[in-house]
């Protein structure tokens, strides 16, 4: 299944994928905050605990990757999560998740078959 959001996108003069964008911890923190609700830049700066210019750079990368959208409300810019690219990542990860679940099921069966130890 091809992933539109996995396609390479030019961001800040370099080739980047959605995986590379979400690999950065500050960007994941911003996405976590936006998962709860839309937020203005100032609130994101306060919650992330870093400078406004740095948060703005991260927001630009997230926006260019299609992970967030911005709306202007008078003097404030509000950012909100665009879940579609993340749903595509989730779909791509599904077979790997099944692999992990199968391995955990096998471990559980193995542990169930082990003899009980006396305390």
pTM for this structure? Answer: 0.70
Q: Residue 72, class by beta-carbon neighbours within 10 Å (0-12 exposed, 13-18 middle, 19+ buried)? A: exposed
Q: What is the pLDDT of residues 27-77, one digit of tens each?
A: 999 999 999 999 999 999 999 999 999 999 999 999 999 999 999 888 889
Name the H helices within 1-119: 18-22, 25-36, 41-48, 52-64, 84-113
Instruction: Flag whether pLDDT at 14 surpasses 70.
Output: no
Residue 114, SS3 per DSSP: coil
Which of 39, 43, 61, 62 has the alpha carbon at shortest distance from 52?
Answer: 43
Which of 40, 19, 20 has the alpha carbon at shortest distance from 30?
Answer: 40
Instruction: Flag whether pLDDT at 13 surpasses 80.
Output: no
> CB neighbours of 12 closer than 8 A, spacing ≥ 6?
60, 61, 64
For residue 79, the model assigns a pLDDT of 97
Q: What is the pLDDT of residues 63-114, one digit of tens each?
A: 999 999 999 888 889 999 998 888 878 888 888 888 888 788 888 888 888 8
Residue position matching structure tokens 């990757």: 65
Q: Which residue segments constitute the domains of the chain, with CATH numbers given?
A: 9-113 (1.10.10.10)
d(CA 72, CA 116): 64
* Structure-model confidence comparison of residues 71 and 119, the more confident one: 71
């Amino acid at each position: 299944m091809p992933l539109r959001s996995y396609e390479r996108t030019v961001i800040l003069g370099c080739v980047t994928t959605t995986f590379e964008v979400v690999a950065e911890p500050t960007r994941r923190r911003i996405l976590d905050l936006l998962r709860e609700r839309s937020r203005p830049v100032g609130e994101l700066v306060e919650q992330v605990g870093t400078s406004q210019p740095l948060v703005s750079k991260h927001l630009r990368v997230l926006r260019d990757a299609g992970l967030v959208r911005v709306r202007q409300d008078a003097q404030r810019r509000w950012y909100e999560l665009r879940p579609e690219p993340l749903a595509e990542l989730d779909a791509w990860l599904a077979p790997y998740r099944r692999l992990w679940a199968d391995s955990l099921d096998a471990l559980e069966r193995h542990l169930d078959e082990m003899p009980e130890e006396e305390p």
